[in-house]
């Protein structure tokens, strides 16, 4: 529920491959940088000057999974999300603020590459087959708490094992104490399947 409207709509290209992390609960969190270009006319020279605007995107839930799997550096994508500015501490102890576009359960993502080309070519990790134009709305709404702390701790770079199945506790030491502190936001918990297509 919201008193107000907070909506961002972007179409642009990824500057890098997406970075995928996982919450202790196995939910994907993806960070992207997206470029939108605009040209303006220089007043002195009359020349058209290209200007690129870079956007930081954070995706949660199923959209994040799809983005992590199918988007690559250079991919063109439509994104709908909301603005969120988070505060963090610089190494000098001073407050810094970073504004991101959060794409959660209420957001949308749509891949716009008609051929799904990864734009980079050197992404050996790219999946063999990929969808060409597909849009995702998350399956269930969720409120974003104040807990997300950007790139900071508590996230695993490893995908969860079979998140949708019951399985015995992981003995693996890779899953560290960070998992214990399960106060991390868990944007979407009720996925009903892993791969939507």
Partner DNA sequence: TTTT
- Residues 21-80 close enough to bind a second copy by CB under 8 A: 23-25, 27, 35-44, 46, 48-49, 51, 53-55, 60-61, 76, 78, 80
CA-CA distance, 110 to 114, in Å (whole number)? 11
Q: What are phi and psi of 108, to 5 degrees?
A: -150, 150
Rule CB under 7 A: choose which of 19, 26, 33, 86 binds DNA: 33
Query: Do residues 101 and 58 touch, judged by C-beta distance below 8 A?
Result: yes
- Residues 41-100 close enough to bind DNA by CB under 7 A: 50, 52, 54, 73-74, 76
Between residues 73 and 175, which has the closer beta carbon with respect to DNA? 73
Residue count of the chain = 197
Q: Identify the three-state secondary structure at position 133.
A: coil
Rule CB under 7 A: choose which of 6, 89, 132, 161 binds DNA: 132
145 binds a second copy (CB under 8 A): yes
Query: Do residues 116 and 131 touch, judged by C-beta distance below 8 A?
Result: yes
- Residue 7 interacts, among DNA, a second copy, none and using kind-specific CB cut-offs from 5 to 8 Å, with a second copy
CA-CA distance, 81 to 73, in Å (whole number)? 20
Q: Identify the three-state secondary structure at position 172.
A: coil
Binding residues for DNA (CB under 7 A): 3, 12-16, 33, 35, 37, 50, 52, 54, 73-74, 76, 114, 119-120, 131-133
């Amino acid at each position: 529920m919201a008193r107000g409207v907070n909506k961002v709509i972007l179409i642009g290209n990824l500057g890098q491959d997406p970075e995928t992390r996982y919450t202790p609960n196995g939910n994907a969190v993806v960070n992207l940088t997206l470029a939108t270009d605009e040209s303006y006319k220089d007043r002195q020279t009359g020349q058209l000057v290209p200007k690129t605007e870079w956007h930081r995107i954070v995706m949660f839930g199923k959209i994040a999974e799809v983005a992590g799997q199918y988007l690559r550096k250079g991919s063109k994508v439509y994104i709908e999300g909301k603005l969120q500015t988070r505060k963090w501490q610089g190494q000098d102890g001073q407050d810094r603020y970073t504004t991101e576009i959060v794409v959660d359960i209420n957001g949308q993502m749509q891949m716009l590459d008609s051929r799904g080309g990864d734009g980079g070519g050197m992404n050996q990790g790219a999946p063999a087959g990929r969808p060409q134009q597909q849009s995702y709305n998350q399956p269930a709404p969720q409120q974003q708490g104040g807990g997300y702390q950007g790139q900071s701790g508590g996230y695993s770079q490893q995908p969860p094992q079979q998140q949708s199945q019951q399985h015995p506790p992981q003995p693996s030491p890779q899953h560290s104490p960070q998992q214990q502190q399960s106060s991390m936001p868990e944007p979407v918990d009720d996925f009903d399947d892993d791969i939507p297509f």
